[in-house]
Amino acid sequence: MFFPLLMLFTFSYSVVILLHWYGWTKKIRSANQNKLEEGISVLVSFRNEATNLPACLQSLKELNCGSFPHEFIFVDDHSEDASVEVFHKAQLSNAKLLQLTDNTGKKAAITKGVEEAKFAYVITLDADSTVSSAWLQSMLMSASKGEFKAMGGLVKFKENASFLNKFLNIEMCSLMGITAGGINAGFPVLANGTNFLFRKDAFVAVGGYSGDHFSSGDDVFLLQKIAKKFGAKSVGFNSELEALVSTQAPANLRELLQQRVRWAGKSKGYRLFAKMLTAFIGFYNILMALMILSALFFPYLLPFVLAMFICKMMADAVLTVPVLSRTQQQKLLPYIPLIALIYPFYILLTVLVGLFLKAEWKGRAVK
């Protein structure tokens, strides 16, 4: 019964991934309305980002905002470097700086920024990110036309020549496919806070981050709250190239594992369906890693392991390749087979490290 069970798991995994691919192919719903006059507040929370802030501020200066109302709100979370000085030196128009005093953390910073926001829409952006000149207009137009309460957008890592960077960008494209596919197919699970838009009144209606006891998860928990209160169709995703945000990748394996342990930790707070989906995908990758290791000692397993691996790689590629193409990263296509082989072990390593590693962010312990 063991081998038929393996094939059943493989089939189920492929179906899950292909359902997300189907969601990726769906066009954004449009109610044929345009409420750009409601305006948008760009919210950037930061802590110790003096190195990355200049590029972020410069890209915001180059935005083509047309005639719609907008503002930039920067919230300093007790920075210990020259971040505040960098902000003031940039002299960004329509920008103001807020500083946390009593509270700490990204959720507290976003909450403070939302309270001060003047406009109907708020979009969060990380301080280590850069945007295209059409980014803000694309996100606002898509959200207003679709009458969405919340909306995600494309994210990729800033490119460099390292293999780790190639690995991370392929993984990010896979995550973007799952994020967009789930939202468009009516079962929103993931979001990325460096390109996440929501209506201020929706944030207030769901109580913001009240009831959340995790340091991270400002994006995912808010997405799931809004989808629960207003329905899955109240959430959208902008997959246009103009909406793409480029963000800083983890610089080394330690930073990567710290980030992934934080991501894994917050999954405990997901809603039931999201927990089941992420647990199943994680479990199948771990199973794949264990089967590959087993085949090294028991060669008769090799045909079954090879069948599993090929089916998994093909399903993953169907979802990932269109996102690579959309984000103009086709040069990464030759790396897909190698990364498909490495990825299950990477998931296994993340789980094992998570048992012993105390997650941190910017020098703070993460709950």
pLDDT of residue 264: 72
What are the distances in angstroms from CA 164 to CA 69, 135, 157, 251? Answer: 40, 27, 11, 9
Beta bridge partner(s), residue 76: 46, 99
pLDDT of residue 67: 80
pLDDT of residue 24: 94
Average pLDDT across each block of 10 residues of the chain; the chain has 367 residues. List them in order. 85 95 81 76 96 97 90 95 95 94 87 96 97 95 92 96 95 96 93 95 94 73 94 94 95 83 72 85 95 93 93 97 97 97 94 75 60
pLDDT of residue 102: 81
| Cα atoms found within 13 Å of the Cα of residue 363, Cβ hemisphere only | 9
- Other C-beta atoms closer than 10 Å to the C-beta of 160 total 11
Domains and CATH numbers, the chain: 2-21+271-362 (no CATH), 34-250 (3.90.550.10)
pLDDT of residue 334: 97
pLDDT of residue 5: 87
